[in-house]
Every structure is written in C-alpha cells, then in structure tokens.
C-alpha cells in the first residue's frame, strides 16, 4: 500500500537528471516514435472523421478501416519526384523543411506523461526532460519553426510561396504573443515554469464537505483561469495554422502557401511538422490547463489508485486525443476567416483581453496574499467587464453603420496605386468584354 502511495507521488524538478543513459535513450526513442505514430494516426483519423461528418466513408481501403492510409501516403510521397525548381537558393531550400520539422519534435521533450515509475529497477519520471524554465522551450522552438516558413517561402523563388511564407510567419508571431500572455496567469498560480511542477500544482483543489463526504473541486487551471484557457485555445488554432486560421495555405489565394514548390519527402516534412505541432500544442494545453497526466476528478473520487503507476499515461493520451478531435471537428465545421479578421482577432481582441485578465488576476492574488477580502473587487471587476463588453458591442455597431457608405464610395473610385502597389481596377472594361477584341459587340448589345 505504501508502495502505491509513493508511486502516486508526482514528479518534481528534483526527479530529473539522474537517469542512466539507456533510460534517456529509451525515453527519447519512445517520444520520437510516439510523435511519428501520432502523425500517422491523426492524418487517418482526420480524414475518417471529416468523412463521417460530411456523410461519406473516408479512406477505407488500406488495411482495416483504412488505418494504413497515412503510412501508404507517406511511402507514396517518398516515391515521387523530388523537384527542385530552377533558380531556388538550394541550401536554404533544403534547410527550410528541416527547420520546420526538427524543432517541432523537440518541443515535446518537456511534456510530462506521468508520475514516477520504475523501469528496470530505476525510479524515473515518465517525462523525457524537465527544466526550471521548461515552458520556454516550446515557445523557443515555435519561434525557430517560424524560420521554416519564412525561408521556404523566400527560397522557392515563387511569388505565391513568398507571400505565403510572410503571411504564415506574421500569423504565427502574432498569435505567439497572445499565447505567451495566456501562460502568465498559470505561472502566477503555480509559481514555477517547470512543467512537472505545474502539473503537481494542479493536483489538489480546494476541499469542501458535503453531507459528511469530502469533495474536491477540480483544480485544473482551465476552470480556475478560464479566460486564459479560452485565449490559449484561440492561439492554439492560430499557431497551428489550421482551419479556421489556415490563411497561409488558402488554396484559392496562394496555391499552397510557403510549400507550393515543395514535393516528395521535403513536402512531407512540412506536413509532419503541422501535425506534430498540433500534438505538441494539445499536450502543452493538457499540461498547463487540464491537470496534465492526472486523472479527472470524478475518477479520483472513487478510485484512489488512478494516479499511480502507468495509469497517468492513459489519462494523458485521452486528454491529448480530445484536443486533436477538437482540431479535426473545427476543420469540418468552420470556414476560413479573412486575413484581416485573423489579425484583428489576434491584435485587437486576444492581446488586450489577456493583458487585462493578467492585471485582474494579479490584483486579486496580491490582495489575497495580503489577506484582504476580494469579494467586492470581484463584483466591481464583473461590472467593469460587462460595461466594457456592452461598450465594445455598441462601438462595433456604430462604426459598422458608419463604415458602410464609405466602403461603397471607396469601391466606386479606384485608386490605381492603392497602398503604393499597382492594383488593376476592380471594374476593368475587359471584364465586360470591352477591349479584348473578342466580345465588344455583346457588350454593346447589353448596353443598348
């Protein structure tokens, strides 16, 4: 019994750095293989689930339920011609897919999978690595991943790719700010940047007694810091560059964005990076907001051993898969937003809201640390928030009704050098068949 109790203990920063080399190698290999397998399964699951949501079967030929589809797609990709277009910067062209894929995988090293277990007689935490500043690692890797986009776009020597690369990187860096800000409240409550300790900090909620039984409220930061969680969900979509925020690869506009010119396994690397990023973002969200590998509270309520031994891996995987399903669901349900809407959401909504939320949380926490009563502040803050929401809603209404006639005017008089760039008139004569020497008669006929 005491043994299970010890095993139930979560890992702390002190549990790390004592592994023998073979355990390090084993863990690294497991994480690596897990990521590759997850990509294969996610690609398959995405196509099947979206198929179901669109009332069609989805891929069902390769293997049972078509589960080998993604694997065969990969093999097929490898057997395609590796096209290096004329005039590209070869070194950078080869470097870009590597820069996209490798950092994405490294991010996963600080994600905790479970508490301390015993492998081959060694007590070791189920986590590849932890640092006193662990959460900075995924952020840093994301910012290195940006180079993959910029350089792919630049080196391809194609206007579509260049524009896609710039768009992509501008999007990622914009949403990285809101993402970074959404973490602040978590650090404020956990008092650490180490992922294993953040999970440990979410272990115990406040206990209260109902009818003689002790109940624990969920201690997840997703509940406690709900606005941070919601902001993170938005930035997660923006960072991963998937629908509804998949502007960089809006087919109708940019062919395939920054990887237009890539083929064969180089393209596969970008594809892989997207799905690995999706998994990492889900895992990070699980760790920071959903209590990490710890079992959800109704389970711990009747099963005390749920957090011991290898069980946490199950909870962890379930939570990650929930997010992955959420990603896929959104892709099936939502249309793509416009680029200006995307930037407006990132810069004008998410950033001010998260800054305001940080100020509010820190004021409340400071007063609680000083043993003040925070009740009145909560009420005042709630009133302010409601007022702000009403004001912004009214503002939007007013400015929208003002803007409409202006837009109509702007459309009427075309500026041939709008914003300093030559833009063809939106209503050019040849759209009506005038001036291309082919259909002037029909145009005149309509005019007559």
Q: Taking CB under 8 A as the criterion, which residues in 290-329 touch another protein?
A: none
**C-alpha to C-alpha distances, 400 to 43, 102, 140, 229, 407, nearest whole angstrom:** 41, 45, 39, 30, 10
CB of 444 to another protein, least distance (A): 18
Q: Which is nearer to another protein, 16 or 311 (CB)?
A: 16
User: Is residue 62 a contact residue for another protein (CB under 8 A)?
Assistant: no
Q: What is the DSSP string of 393-435?
A: HHHHHHHHHHHHHHHHHHHHS--TTGGGS----TT-GGGGT-S
Give the total of residues touching another protein (CB under 8 A): 124
x/- mask, another protein, residues 91-110, rule CB under 8 A, reads xx-xx-xx--xxxxxx-xxx
Applying the rule CB under 8 A, the residues between 415 and 434 that interact with another protein are 417, 419-424, 426, 428, 430-431
- Distance from C-alpha of 318 to C-alpha of 239, rounded to nearest angstrom: 22
Residue located via tokens 């404020």: 188
Nearest Cα neighbor of 289 from 361, 141, 190 is 190
Closest distance to another protein from the beta carbon of 11 (Å): 13
Nearer Cβ to another protein (49/377):
377
Report the C-alpha gap between 273 and 256 in whole angstroms: 15
Q: Is 143 in the site for another protein (CB under 8 A)?
A: yes
What tokens appear for 407 in the block?
Answer: 């837009």
Q: 103, exposed or middle or buried, with CB in 10 Å at 0-12, 13-18, 19+? A: buried
What distance in Å separates the CA atoms of residue 148 and residue 150, rounded to the nearest whole number? 6
Block residue for tokens 């606005």: 227
Figure out which of the listed residues 128, 237, 281, 337 binds another protein, where binding follows CB under 8 A: 128
Structure tokens, 443: 């145009």
Q: Among 41, 50, 131, 332, indicate the residue that binds another protein (CB under 8 A).
A: 131
Full DSSP string of 358-384: HHHHHHHHHHHHTT---HHHHHHHHHH
- Kindly identify the residues of this chain, within the stretch 176-215, that bind another protein according to CB under 8 A: 176-177, 180-181, 183-185, 187-188, 191-193
Q: Is 12 in the site for another protein (CB under 8 A)?
A: no
Least distance to another protein from the beta carbon of 146, Å? 6
Task: Tell me whether residue 68 or residue 102 sits nearer to another protein (CB atom).
Answer: 102
Among 174, 196, 307, 324, binds another protein (CB under 8 A): 174
Q: How far is the CB of 214 from another protein (least distance, A)?
A: 26
Q: Is 215 helix (H, G, I), strand (E, B) or coil?
A: strand
Determine which residue in the list 314, 355, 384, 445 makes contact with another protein, applying CB under 8 A. 355
- Nearer CB in complex with another protein: 139/230: 139
Site for another protein in 13-52 (CB under 8 A): 16-19, 24-25, 27-29, 31-32
How near is the Cβ of 104 to another protein at its closest, in Å?
A: 8
Nearer to another protein, 101 or 295 (CB): 101
């Amino acid at each position: 019994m005491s043994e299970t109790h010890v095993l139930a203990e979560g890992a702390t920063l002190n549990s790390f750095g004592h592994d023998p080399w073979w355990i390090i190698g084993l863990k690294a290999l497991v994480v690596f293989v897990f990521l590759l397998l997850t990509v294969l399964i996610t690609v398959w699951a995405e196509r099947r689930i979206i198929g179901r949501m669109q009332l069609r079967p989805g891929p069902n030929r390769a293997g049972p339920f078509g589960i080998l589809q993604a694997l065969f797609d990969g093999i097929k990709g490898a057997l395609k011609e590796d096209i290096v277009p004329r005039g590209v910067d070869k070194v950078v062209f080869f470097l870009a897919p590597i820069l996209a894929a490798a950092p994405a995988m490294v991010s996963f090293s600080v994600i905790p999978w479970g508490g301390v277990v015993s492998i081959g007689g060694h007590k070791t935490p189920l986590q590849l690595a932890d640092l006193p500043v662990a959460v900075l690692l995924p952020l840093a890797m994301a910012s290195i991943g940006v180079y993959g986009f910029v350089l792919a776009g630049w080196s391809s020597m194609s206007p579509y790719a260049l524009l896609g690369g710039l768009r992509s990187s501008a999007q990622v860096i914009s949403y990285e700010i809101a993402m970074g800000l959404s973490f602040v409240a978590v650090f404020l409550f956990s008092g650490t940047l180490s992922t294993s300790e953040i999970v440990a900090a979410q272990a115990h909620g406040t206990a209260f007694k109902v009818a003689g039984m002790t109940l624990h409220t969920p201690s997840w930061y997703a509940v406690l810091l709900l606005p941070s969680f919601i902001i993170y969900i938005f930035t997660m979509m923006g960072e991963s560059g998937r629908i509804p925020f998949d502007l960089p690869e809006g087919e109708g506009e940019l062919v395939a964005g920054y990887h237009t010119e890539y083929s064969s396994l180089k393209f596969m690397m970008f594809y892989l990076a997207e799905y690995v990023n999706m998994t990492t973002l889900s895992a990070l969200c699980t760790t920071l907001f959903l209590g990490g590998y710890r079992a959800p509270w109704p389970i711990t309520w009747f099963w005390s051993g749920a957090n011991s031994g290898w069980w946490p891996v199950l909870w962890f995987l379930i939570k990650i898969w929930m997010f992955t399903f959420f990603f896929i669901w959104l892709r099936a349900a939502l249309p793509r937003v416009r680029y200006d809407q995307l930037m407006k959401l990132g810069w004008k909504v998410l950033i001010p809201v998260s800054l305001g939320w940080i100020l509010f949380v820190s004021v409340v926490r400071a007063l609680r640390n000083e043993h003040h009563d925070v009740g009145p502040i909560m009420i005042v803050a709630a009133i302010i928030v409601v007022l702000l929401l009403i004001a912004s809603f009214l503002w939007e209404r007013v400015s929208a009704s003002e803007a409409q006639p202006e837009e109509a005017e702007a459309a009427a008089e075309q500026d041939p050098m709008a914003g300093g760039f030559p833009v063809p008139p939106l209503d050019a004569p040849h759209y009506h068949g005038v001036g291309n020497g082919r259909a002037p008669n029909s145009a005149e006929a309509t005019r007559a």
